[in-house]
Structure 1
Amino acid sequence: MSTLRGAALRFPLLAATLLVGLTGLLLWAVGLPVAVQWLFSGFGVIVVVIEGVAMVRRMRAGTVGLDVLAILAIIATILVGEYVATLIIVLMLAGGAALEDYADGRAKRELTALLARAPQIAHRIPAGDDEAEDIPATQVQVGDLLLVRPAEIVPVDGTLVSESAAFDEASLTGESLPVEHRAGDTVLSGSVNGQGAVTIRASALAVDSQYQQIVALVAEAAASKAPVVRLADRYAVPFTAVALVIAGAAWFVSGDPVRFAEVLVVATPCPLLLAAPVAFLGGMSRAARNGIIVKGGGVLETLGRARTVVFDKTGTLTYGMPSINRILPENGFDADEVLGLAASAEQYSSHVLAASVLAAAQTRGLDLQSTETATEVPAHGVTARFGSREVVVGKLSFVSERAPDAYPADLAGGELAIYLAVDGEYAVCIVASDQVRDNAAATVAAFDRLGVHESVMLTGDARPTANHVARQVGITRVRAECLPADKVAAVGAIRERPVIMVGDGVNDAPVLAAADVGIAMGARGSTAASESADAVILLDDLSRAARAAAIGRDTTRIALQSIWLGIGLSVALMIVAAFGVIPATVGALLQELVDLATILNALRAIGGRKDVRGRGVAARIPLAPRPQPARS
């Protein structure tokens, strides 16, 4: 009873229609057909008033919707006395909302699954105690030692303390097999522990952990309304005009006003209203299963129409983990000394090379100095003072402002240089290299096969390095030595639109927001990049960007197919009804079948097992092997 009551409260018009229908059957059974006609017709008038007021409000807001045809059909059936058809049309309108709700729920299944699994409890092990205490996940602090029992969800991001463990990361990455981790590996919140209890050291608060960030993205995506829903409204005026012309012609030729009502009954627009939102919610669900969170159906439509793809270099086309190859000290400086100074200054930098310098210093066992007078100039470098010594580290142009004797190093293709000056004297050039992703060239080629023929690389690195990477992956247009503002301007100047931008770092956030579709490599990328992007890839896998475009194209095609299927079936039924072959009541029932056919076709956008079986455009995009887990 509670379920029925809840459904009635959720869909009051549908509940009222069913109640009126049951009452009509009882009246008919006791021999009161006139009462049935008055009941059904009166109820139809009430619905016309309610829906008409809503329609007028939408028109005042500048939207001409397809619901005008349904209202005209109800009015026409009332006037010609086809009261059974009146109730069927009302039932179709009311049932359409319930049907759409079911389809939405089916399409959003993968999206809402993340929300339902959000970790709530953590088992904290107090210092000096072996007994774990249960606390809300939101109360976990960085550094807390946590117990994760078998089959439990990891509550926050952490570092594995136990010697080894296996985790199910399917909800995060789509990886179907358990992933082996060893002590020191990063374990992401939302992954499910295997068969043995393990301990982890919290490395982030709950609000900053991977799973909670994914949940926030999912909530935003699920709540968004696809702009492409307006695609159906684009057909509102012509479709309404065609229906009225056919209905008017049938009435004029036959001289029977019933023909007018019979045509309008089969012209009701529910298939067009349902097709686009169901298809795009299905596409968003399919993208989520592929490790891609899309922030709205409109993003999928734009992805499907893209003509240009723009890539950041570091961390996107490359792995973003450069290693130090050579240390070239100058002016009598010692290699370990200048590496220690560079690492001490790079502690205060957000640049990707900073981590490489710090790792090299740690490998050599160098002690780092701290300071309160460090200043970073984004995309240029860091100035820091350690005691009486001023250290400047970063690009050559930045360092040479303080050390005019600095000169460019002789770099091989793909190498990067970090320059350092001490007290205005050029001290060292640190040479690093960043490996191109194994599937970068295949991803660029996949975009080309999808019709995205223009590819561009924007990077803040030097031109020789940028050109070297571009030749490796097949990109022909390169803009090097770009500041964030330069990237935004470059994307704005591209004529072949829509433009997809793929990036990962803090400096990519402005250009991700400026592009028609921004795709953030969210597995290791910054929160700023993920928040400003339209889609976020949850894995460290560049090929998912091409798969997102393929899913967008598939979804848009299915949405348009569904819309045209609804139009085609409705027009065919209108023409047949114009000859008086389809009575109004039968026409209303046939229109329900049109609704069903349209929605079932739109649900194909969910994909199902198509990706697994290798069918469809998206399934043919080559995916990278799962990356090795990052060490903390």
Structure 2
Amino acid sequence: MPEVSAAYRFQRALTILAVLGLVAGVALWALGQPTALAAVAVVVLGVVIVATAVDMVRDLMSGHWGLDILALVAMGATLAVEEYVAGLIIAVMLTGGEALEAWAGRRASRALDTLLNRAPVFAQRIDPGTGHVVQVPVAEVEVGDELLVRSSEILPVDGVLLSPRASIDESSVTGEPLPVSYAAGAALLSGTTNGTETFTMRATRTAQESQYATIVQLVEEAVGSRAPMIRLADRYAVPFTAVSLAIAGLAWWLSGDPVRFAEVLVVATPCPLLIAAPIAFLGGMSSAARINVIIKEGGTLETLSRVRSAAFDKTGTLTQGKPVVATVHPGACSEEETLLLAAAAEQHSVHVFAQPIIDAVRRAGQELPHVASAEEVATNGVRATLTDGRQVRVGKPAFVEEVVGRVERPTLTAGETAVYVALDDQLAGVVVLSDPVRPHAAQTVARMRTAGVTQFVLVTGDVTSTADSVAGEVGIAGGSDSVHAETTPQGKVEIVRALRPRPVLMVGDGINDAPVLAAADVGIALAGRGATAASESASAVVTSDDVGRVADVMEVSRRTVSIALQSIWLGIVISIGLMLVAAFGHLPAVAGALLQEVVDLVAIASALRALALHRRFSRERA
């Protein structure tokens, strides 16, 4: 981030110049050297005015109305009426306020930077020929490499455990507070920390493709994004400027004294409006990061605070996404043969339900039928041809009904899903998988409804009976709520785009939900233990396996906006009060400039409250 560092250094230098100018100006004023004081003021204020004007023009060219015009007019007015010390105080206030904003921004983004600082740099690769351990840059690790991970080391890439066991601290990635124990063959995430026992693992992804790298990328985008509430503060720019100039002009006209114009504008400098909003939003983003929600761009917070409709995917979002085979309903084939046929075809599928069926057959020690060819039909199922020529279809009922005619659908309970299996032109049977609803799902929906969401929609590619049972269990039922089952990715997009009222929030697992996450005003992907943080279409990513964080980050967003607005209005009210006092001649320019500095500090302190928003949720989950 070299540009940010250069800007910060320039702002710091400008602040130092203004402070030195003020010190020199006060000393020359005390020594009775008006000519030297005027020279110092002209030089220092000239530099500050030019630098501020350049920034203001850049903002105007990018379409953002700013408030710097008041500061420029105030400094120019103090020069015109020879209130040099007051002008230097304004310069210190303006440059110092922006320096404080930069400092507060760095303070607020510290939680985001933590992930960047933890990024693995090296890996211990085991040479397959000699068995020696060689330290290599993490970027050189290739899929299939065997790696040694020592005690307390950070896992460099995603992989599978080769050693009999391992204890992993996953708190930095998933939010799981306690170490998790794994057995051989378990999937491991990069960025997590080994416990006390050294183990070996095999890389399944390169560093660039691993879970931690995708989260780091999201953090970099979050840190570099422009704080959105600058736009909110800009909404007050024109009226605040107009009111300030009107009060100053009226005071000058009524008193006949141009000094009165400068005295009013000295306390009208808009630093609280410029500083409070971005600091509050950086604090909100920091609090979101501390509860394991990475906000990719600042505008997400403001939109989240106003969400009125919410759509949820089912599998892996409202449910745990770890289904297991519950029962098998035989048809033309036995339970055992139905499961074997399903597993044979599902070997060629990437669907979340494929692996549980395959695992069930392997646990039974059975051999899968040989498949000559197979094709996955997106959102429908798998079509396979066995080596003996038999045709197998596995998937949704409509997909199977194309070859077997109408099928009877079993009654399902919440969290259950039916996978239909056809052999040639007959229904071989139905495999029922159970994917339990997440523990916090119903509570999350209830909290979001309390927060102002008026309409909930469940959109899923699963069958109607399963979708209805899950929706009922989590509280998406009745009123304006609706359930859309057996939908295609394009169908999901159309449903979300048509939702009213807006803004609309979409929550998905990020695997097949990229189009609909992009279609919503705000898309939140649940990363959990998958590689779903790579979904570039999501506005935010929950890095812990907890759907409740969606409600948490909505609350953080609402409170962040509230804090930003309180800080803005605090600055406006105090500034207008001081302007009125100055308009009647009761507030000298120097005293007014000093009081405005106090207003700045009050606004900053108010905005920094957003840094602590995460603490409530940390206590609740403790």
Distance of aligned partners of 1:529 and 1:171 in 2 relative to their CA distance in 1, 3 Å threshold:
closer
- Same amino acid, percent of matched pairs: 52
Q: Which amino acid aligns with 2:410?
A: D
Residues 463 and 481, structure 1, Cα contact 8 Å, conserved in 2: yes
CA contact (8 A) 1:504 1:526 kept: no
Alignment-mate amino acid for residue 411 of structure 2 = L
- TM-superposed CA distance for 1:276, in Å, is 1.2
The alpha-carbon distance between structure 1 residues 369 and 524, as it changes in their structure 2 partners (threshold 3 A), is farther
Q: Which residue of 1 aligns with 2:353?
A: 353
Q: Are 1:400 and 2:430 counterparts?
A: no
Deviation of residue 8 (structure 1)? 5.3
Q: 1:63 to 1:608 in 2, by over 3 A?
A: closer
Q: Residue type of the partner of 1:546?
A: A
Partner of residue 268, structure 1: 269
Tell me the SS of whatever aligns to 2:353: helix
Question: Are 1:36 and 2:41 an aligned pair?
Answer: no
Code of the aligned partner of 1:361: V
CA–CA separation in structure 2 for the residues paired with 1:503 and 1:350: 17
User: Which letter maps to 1:159?
Assistant: V
Could you list the per-position Cα deviations for residues 4-43 of structure 1 after superposition, in whole angstroms to 9, with x for gaps in the alignment?
9997556342243344445546756876331121221243
User: What does 1:147-166 correspond to in 2, within 5 Å?
Assistant: 147-166=148-167
Provide structure 1 residue ranges, at least 5 long, that are not aligned to the other structure: 626-632
State how far apart, in whole Å, the 1-side matches of 2:575 and 2:27 are: 33
**Cα deviations across residues 39-87 of structure 1 (Å, max 9, x unaligned)?**
2124323433443344345334443211110011011101110011111
Write the deviation string for residues 487-521 of structure 1: whole angstroms up to 9, x where unpaired.
11111222122121111143322111111111111
> Is the Cα–Cα contact under 8 Å of residues 144 and 204 in structure 2 kept in the other structure?
yes
Report the CA distance between 1:184 and its aligned residue: 3.5
Is 1:509–1:529's contact at 8 Å kept on the other side of the alignment? no
1:539 and 2:544 matched: yes
Number of the residue aligned with 1:548: 553
Q: Residues 505 and 346 from structure 1, CA distance in 2 versus in 1: closer, same or farther, beyond 3 angstroms?
A: farther
1:505/1:525 contact within 8 Å kept: no
Structure 2 residues not aligned, in runs of 5+: none
- Report deviation, 1:474: 1.2
Contact residue 25 and residue 41 of structure 2 kept, 8 A = yes
Q: Is the 8 A contact 1:392 1:399 kept in 2?
A: yes
* Aligned counterparts, 1:199-598, within 5 A: 199-331=200-332, 333-368=333-368, 373-387=373-387, 388-404=389-405, 407-414=407-414, 415-476=416-477, 477-525=482-530, 527=532, 530-598=535-603
Cα distance in structure 1, aligned partners of 2:591 and 2:47 = 23
Paired AA for residue 491 in structure 1? V
Partner in structure 1 of residue 185 of structure 2: 184
Please state whether the residue corresponding to 1:611 is helix, strand or coil. Answer: helix
TM-score (norm 1): 0.91
- Bigger Cα displacement from structure 2, 339-348 vs 222-231: 339-348
Question: How many residue pairs align between the two structures?
Answer: 612
Q: How far apart are 1:135 and its partner, in Å? A: 0.6
Asked if the contact 1:146/1:200 (under 8 Å) is kept, the reply is yes
3-state DSSP class of the match of 1:402? helix
| Structure 1 position 76 matched with structure 2 position 77 | yes
CA distance in 2, matches of 1:245, 1:349: 70
What is the CA-CA distance between 1:275 and the residue it aligns to?
1.1
Shift in Å, 1:189: 1.2
Alpha carbons of structure 1 residues 505 and 10: separation in structure 2 relative to 1, 3 Å: closer
* Greater mean alpha carbon deviation, residues 492-501 or residues 556-565: 492-501
Deviation at 1:116, TM superposition (A): 1.2
The secondary structure found in structure 2 opposite 1:511 is helix
Is residue 508–residue 529 contact of structure 1 (8 Å, CA) maintained in 2? no
SS in 2 for 1:105: helix
54 and 539 in structure 1: CA distance in 2 versus 1, 3 angstrom threshold: closer
Kindly provide the CA deviation profile for residues 297-355 of structure 1, in whole angstroms up to 9, marking residues without a partner as x.
21111111112222111111111222222333433x45444433322221222222112
What secondary structure does 1:180 align onto? strand
Q: Aligned in 2, Cα 1:80/1:396: closer, same or farther, shift over 3 Å?
A: same
CA drift of 1:273 comes to 0.8
Pairwise CA distance, 1:139? 1.5
Check 1:150–1:529 CA distance in 2 against 1; reply closer, same or farther (3 A cut). closer
> Which TM-score applies when normalising by structure 2?
0.92
> Which of 59-68 and 604-613 deviates more?
604-613
Question: Over aligned residue pairs, what C-alpha RMSD do you find?
Answer: 2.5
Q: Cα gap change, 1:369/1:597 in structure 2, threshold over 3 Å: closer, same or farther?
A: farther
Cα distance in structure 1, aligned partners of 2:472 and 2:325: 23
**C-alpha distance in structure 2 between counterparts of 1:384 and 1:62, whole Å:** 57
**Deviation of the 1:236 alpha carbon:** 0.5
